[in-house]
Amino acid sequence: MNRILPKRIAAILFHFLIRIVYFCNALKNTMLPNSELILAIESSCDDTAAAVLNGRKVLSNCIANQTVHKAYGGVVPELASRAHQSKIVPVVQQALVQANIDKNDLTAIAYTQGPGLLGSLLVGSAFAKSFALSLNVPLIPINHMQGHLLVHFIEENGINTPTFPFLGITVSGGHTQLVLVKNHFEMNVLGTTLDDAIGEAFDKCGKRMGLDYPSGPQIDKLAQTGNPKRFQFPIPNMKGYDVSYSGVKTAFTNFIHKQTQNDSNFIHENLNDLCASLQYTLVQIILNKIEQVASENQLNQIVIGGGVAANSELRNQLLARKESHHWEVFLPPLKYTTDNAAMIGITAYYKLQEKQFGKLTDASKSRLTY
Ligand code: KG4
Ligand code: ZN
């Protein structure tokens, strides 16, 4: 009896201690100034991501990359959906824990409605809808491409926020767009790629050189010690504000094919120069268009977003033109360039202010315009 008593007392004390910790956490979260806690979920392609934002501040930003696609040299949609299913619960859990938030304190749940791979989108939307329903909080469907541009509105050291209107450039694996951004939700596409996206061109040419998917970051790295003028590839000049990337992809593929027929070591011996020359060409195509669109529309704030916004050549070339073109250039921190859920959360923040909520019957869309 005497032995059991201290154990009981310890158990009761421990129980109270846990309750106090929970209470303090809850108190801390409800005491956050203008507390608006958004859980955001992104599952449009091959990254399962979840983030928690308090207003415009990112409390956590978690991503589970899917390595399963590496062996195939590109994203396999069916495998992506399956991987999302196994990763979404742990990633959301991680985001809540890192943000030190109890799920019952959430104000709203946001998810990517499109564009993207339908099976992947469905996993995120089904999860978000069920979670919002069980917690009885509003649901906010988000356009992935708007998210890529609105990362510049996250409140964080090192992020400068542009003023409206500005020229938004989305450069990713699926999109290459020049967008007139009038406000957080009114965005008009002025020009777009007529075929491949810039990230797709990086990835497909990289695959031709035997690089792993996604090849963009590797080409960027290898190009650092290569000569960008060593090999020349065509830079198309499309009419109007559109761009095209399939021509340079074909020219590059044919060139590699021809050279390797004469010398099987050609890629290996010239890899850095090939990467630098290819990267130079791909970046030059979009740069030329940015210059034209900016000058003809008197837009001097150039705001980039999307995975290829991580590219060092693109970032450097934009900064190099700042003075002569009187531009203000807005480059996102690298962690907010490739797909992430913080970008979904910040877009949801603005929808929350206007009470633009979604319904359980909203459909995911593989294609979604602004
Ligand atoms: O935005 P994102 O993560 O996914 C889509 O919405 O598509 O972009 C992925 C794309 C891939 O094509 C990848 O190769 C490219 O972004 N990428 C890069 C770099 N980092 C990612 N391309 C060139 N240089 C980089 N440093
Ligand atoms: Zn993206």
Give the start-to-end residue ranges of the domains of the chain.
Answer: 32-159+335-370, 162-331
Alpha-carbon distance 185 to 142, whole Å?
10
CATH homologous superfamily of domain 162-331? ATPase, nucleotide binding domain (3.30.420.40)
CB 307 within 8 A of CB 338: yes
75 and 69 in contact (C-beta within 8 Å)?
A: yes
Average pLDDT over residues 277-284: 98
pLDDT digits over 157-189, tens only? 999 999 999 999 999 999 999 999 999 999 999
Closest CA to 266 of 323, 258, 152: 258
At 1, the pLDDT band (50, 70, 90 cuts) reads very low
7 has a pLDDT exceeding 90: no
pLDDT at 359: 98
Q: What is the pLDDT of residue 291?
A: 98
Q: Hey, what CATH class is 32-159+335-370 in?
A: alpha beta
Q: How confident is the model at residue 21 (pLDDT cuts 50, 70, 90)?
A: low
Residues with Cβ–ion distance below 5 A, ligand 2: 172, 339
Burial 231-249 (b: 16+ CB within 10 A, else e): bebeebeeeebbbbbebbb
Ligand 1 centre and the CA of 339: distance in Å?
8
**What's the pLDDT score for residue 29?**
47
Report the distance separating Cα 353 and Cα 325, nearest Å.
Answer: 36
Using the predicted structure, report yes or no on whether residue 26 has a pLDDT greater than 70: no
Q: What's the pLDDT tens digit per position in 317-368?
A: 999 999 999 999 999 999 999 999 999 999 999 999 999 999 999 999 999 9
- Cis peptide bond N-terminal to 141, omega within 30: no
- Which pLDDT score is estimated for 342? 98
Quick one: what percent of the chain has pLDDT higher than 90?
87
> Which atom of ligand 1 lies at the shortest distance from residue 197's CA?
12
Q: Which of 66, 149, 172 to mutate to test the pocket of ligand 1 (most atoms within 8 A of CB)?
A: 172
Q: How far away, in angstroms, is 309 Cα from ligand 1 center?
A: 8
| Dist. CA 308 → ligand 1 center (Å) | 4
Task: Write out pLDDT tens, residues 105-149.
Answer: 999 999 999 999 999 999 999 999 999 999 999 999 999 999 999
Looking at residue 70, its pLDDT comes to 84
State mean pLDDT over 200-215.
96
Task: Give, in order, the Cα–Cα distances in Å from 91 to each of 22, 47, 189, 255, 286.
Answer: 21, 11, 33, 43, 35
Ligand 1 binding pocket (C-beta < 6 A) is 45, 172-174, 199, 202-203, 214-217, 220, 306-308, 310-311, 338-339
Res 277 pLDDT > 90: yes
Residue 35 pLDDT level (bands cut at 50, 70, 90): confident
Model pLDDT for residues 291-323, shown as the tens digit of each residue: 999 999 999 999 999 999 999 999 999 999 999
Distance 33 CA to ligand 2 centre (A): 31
Domains 32-159+335-370 and 162-331 share a fold: yes
Q: Which residues pair with 49 in a beta bridge?
A: 42, 63
As a whole number of angstroms, the distance between CA 100 and CA 93 comes to: 10
Which one of 218, 222, 308, 316 would you pick to mutate in the ligand 1 pocket, going by the greatest count of ligand atoms within 8 A of its CB? 308
pLDDT confidence of residue 73: 85
Q: How far is the CA of 326 from the centre of ligand 2 (A)?
A: 29
